[in-house]
Amino acid sequence: MNPGRRTFIKNSTIAVSGALIFSNDVFAFKNKKAVLGIQLYSVRDDMKKDPAATLRKIAGMGYKNVEHANYKDRKFYGYTPKEFKKFLNDLGLKIPSGHTSLNANHWDAAKNDFTDEWKYTIDDAAEVGQQYVISPWLDEKLRTNYEDLSAFLLLFNKTGELCKKAGMKFGYHNHDFEFKNSLNNTKIFDIILNQTDPELVTQQLDIGNMYGAGGRAIEIMKKYPGRFELMHVKDEIKSSGKGEMNDGYESTIVGKGILNVKEVIDYAIKSGGTTHFIIEQESYQGRAPIDCVKDDLKMMKMLHRF
């Protein structure tokens, strides 16, 4: 990236961020009802075996919102967008957000435009009823070169424009590497936040993924107020060496771990800009995932009046 473009991006981001901080619009979310949902990756094996039966169980527990983690060949868990929306509606479920990774192959440099595959992704997300398209990954090659990452982040803003035209918003979901890895003496997470337009790109803050890498949710929300419209709610315990781990920690039932989840949620509602809270549990300590997410829902309703 040439110095002029870098300065422009930096100054533009600072200006937009400043306007957000001092605008009454930033605090409008205080009057919005918080939305509670579940990331279906929490019950990924069940969804793979029998998505219909699993979704019926999810609805029966009292969940009203789901977030998908399976979009392939223009289908959600094997359903077309129209079929999936109808099935969810029949169960009383909505799908405000979904995970689909944006990668460099989705941009056609020769045409200076997104590929049809990525355009279909946005179209299908809108048809199924999503409000947010969330990219939950960053290719490892982009984590080692500042110029390459900066160039890729321009696609975040462009995708934000594409989503806006479809009545949605684009967002990014963190893991742990954004807090462990730095380029040009700046953490990758800060690069992402500083080089994306808040009006076009929101953040889905995963409060568990970051913990082992030193990320602390409230500190991050204080640093970037109003930037986190969505949150993955997790609790963490020291890892037993089994299941999915993030730097020595693994997720557990909300309220059973070391994170002060209630404090994080309260702050997110007050100052983080957060309106969508999505439960995600990836490790289960020997219990059935479907039983864990039932307990997660009970705990979340005890922590906050969703």
pLDDT along the chain (306 residues), means of 10: 44 41 38 88 98 98 98 98 98 98 97 98 98 97 97 98 98 97 98 98 98 97 97 94 75 97 96 96 97 98 90
Output the pLDDT for position 242.
58
Q: What is the pLDDT of residue 19?
A: 39
Distance CA 26, CA 225 (A): 9
Question: What is the C-alpha radius of gyration for the chain, rounded to an integer number of angstroms?
Answer: 19
CA distances from 16 to 20, 32, 151, 159, 289 (A): 6, 23, 20, 18, 42
Q: Which domains does the chain have, with CATH numbers?
A: 29-303 (3.20.20.150)
CA distance 216 to 221: 9
Q: Is there a contact between 76 and 48 (Cβ–Cβ < 8 Å)? A: no
Q: pLDDT at position 146, please? A: 98
